[in-house]
């Protein structure tokens, strides 16, 4: 079971951004994607989520071609993502923001409108409990009714990840989740990512912090100018000469 971009190429106004790029995000594994600024990481992300369509190649989920499906349909199939800049309603409470994750995937059906108010209340209470457990696990705030906007940038990133996990995705795509996050929050984030993979979620982790990616990933991929220059174990990728030169400015990162 995997989410795959196969042989994808995309150009914006003549500028080649991805050239024959393939990536496989397997259920239960963490795939790390690294590359210098402008390498095409977010564009690859956007291909997987349906924000942009590749001009060549395909995207498959568990073997099914979803290249033509829009973002909302992919969410229903179990793909959840976060953004480089968290997209949250800052006026909503932390609890509501996390609970939105549950509803983003499982929209109330027509059948649900026939269930009794008591059943619905019980269901909502269960979701609230699950959301509160996530808020505690991520140590987001001691007060779940606090305005999201009162959280630090690091906590907002964690809140976005908690909301993505609340949608119970099969595939979780994280775009620079550790940027601007302090060491304590980074540990919480790492634990949450490992927990997700342990629950058979396939994780794609895009990060500038190569050490963080290498520590967490089972498999890594490096993009340089829209091409895959290295793929394999974290150790192999961070020590690949082309990666060292292009991404790390000639300095090795141990893994």
Ligand X SMILES: Nc1ncnc2c1ncn2[C@@H]1O[C@H](COP(=O)(O)OP(=O)(O)OP(=O)(O)O)[C@@H](O)[C@H]1O
Q: Residue holding tokens 């630090």?
A: 152
Nearer of residues 53 and 130 to ligand X, judged by Cβ: 53
Nearer of residues 4 and 175 to ligand X, judged by Cβ: 175
Least distance (Å) between residue 211 CB and ligand X: 16
Q: Residue holding tokens 């393939």?
A: 22
Least distance (Å) between residue 16 CB and ligand X: 9
Distances (CA, A) of 138 to 99, 110, 191, 196: 14, 34, 9, 13
Least distance (Å) between residue 55 CB and ligand X: 13
User: Does 83 contact ligand X by CB under 6 A?
Assistant: no
Nearer of residues 42 and 82 to ligand X, judged by Cβ: 42
Least distance (Å) between residue 42 CB and ligand X: 3
The per-residue DSSP string of 219-247 comes to: EEEEEETTEEEEEE-HHHHHT-HHHHHHT
Distances (CA, A) of 214 to 45, 209, 222: 19, 9, 11
Least distance (Å) between residue 33 CB and ligand X: 9
Per the structure block, which two tokens stand in for 170? 């099969």
> Rounded distance, CA 159 to CA 161, Å?
5
Task: For the segment 187-226, give every residue that binds ligand X (CB under 6 A).
Answer: none
User: Does 14 contact ligand X by CB under 6 A?
Assistant: no
The side-by-side arrangement of strands in the sheet containing 56-61 is 15-26, 2-12, 56-61, 64-65
**β-strand 79-81 against 30-34: which pairing, if any?**
unpaired
Contact 234, 26 (CB under 8 A): no
Task: For the segment 39-78, give every residue that binds ligand X (CB under 6 A).
Answer: 39-43
| Total site size for ligand X, rule CB under 6 A | 10
Task: For the segment 25-44, give every residue that binds ligand X (CB under 6 A).
Answer: 35, 37-43
Nearer of residues 28 and 38 to ligand X, judged by Cβ: 38
Per the structure block, which two tokens stand in for 126? 């269960």
Least distance (Å) between residue 11 CB and ligand X: 9
Contact 176, 86 (CB under 8 A): no
Nearer of residues 131 and 229 to ligand X, judged by Cβ: 229
User: Does 8 contact ligand X by CB under 6 A?
Assistant: no
Least distance (Å) between residue 39 CB and ligand X: 4
> Rounded distance, CA 14 to CA 67, Å?
22
Nearer of residues 43 and 49 to ligand X, judged by Cβ: 43
Nearer of residues 42 and 217 to ligand X, judged by Cβ: 42
Q: Is 39 helix (H, G, I), strand (E, B) or coil?
A: coil
User: Does 117 contact ligand X by CB under 6 A?
Assistant: no
The contact set with ligand X (CB under 6 A) reads 12, 17, 35, 37-43
């Amino acid at each position: 079971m995997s989410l795959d971009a196969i042989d994808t190429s995309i150009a914006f106004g003549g500028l080649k951004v991805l050239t024959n790029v393939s990536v496989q995000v397997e259920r239960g594994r963490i795939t790390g994607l690294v590359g210098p600024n402008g390498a095409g990481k977010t564009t690859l992300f956007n291909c997987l989520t349906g924000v942009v369509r590749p001009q060549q190649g395909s995207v498959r989920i568990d073997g099914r071609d979803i290249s033509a499906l829009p973002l909302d349909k992919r969410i229903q199939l179990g793909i959840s993502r976060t953004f480089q800049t968290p997209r949250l309603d800052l006026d909503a409470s932390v609890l509501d923001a996390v609970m939105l994750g549950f509803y983003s995937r499982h929209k109330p059906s027509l059948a649900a409108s026939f269930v009794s108010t008591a059943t619905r209340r019980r269901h909502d209470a269960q979701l609230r409990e699950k959301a509160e457990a996530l808020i505690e696990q991520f140590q987001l705030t001691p007060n779940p009714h606090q305005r999201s906007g009162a959280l630090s940038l690091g906590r907002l990133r964690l809140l976005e990840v908690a909301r993505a996990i609340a949608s119970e995705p099969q595939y979780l795509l994280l775009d620079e989740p550790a940027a601007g996050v302090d060491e304590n929050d980074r540990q919480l984030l790492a634990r949450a990512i490992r927990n997700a993979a342990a629950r058979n979620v396939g994780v794609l982790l895009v990060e500038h912090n190569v050490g963080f990616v290498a520590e967490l990933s089972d498999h890594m991929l490096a993009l340089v100018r829209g091409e895959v220059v290295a793929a394999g174990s974290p150790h192999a990728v961070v020590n690949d000469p082309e990666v060292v030169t292009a991404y790390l400015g000639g300095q090795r990162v141990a893994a």
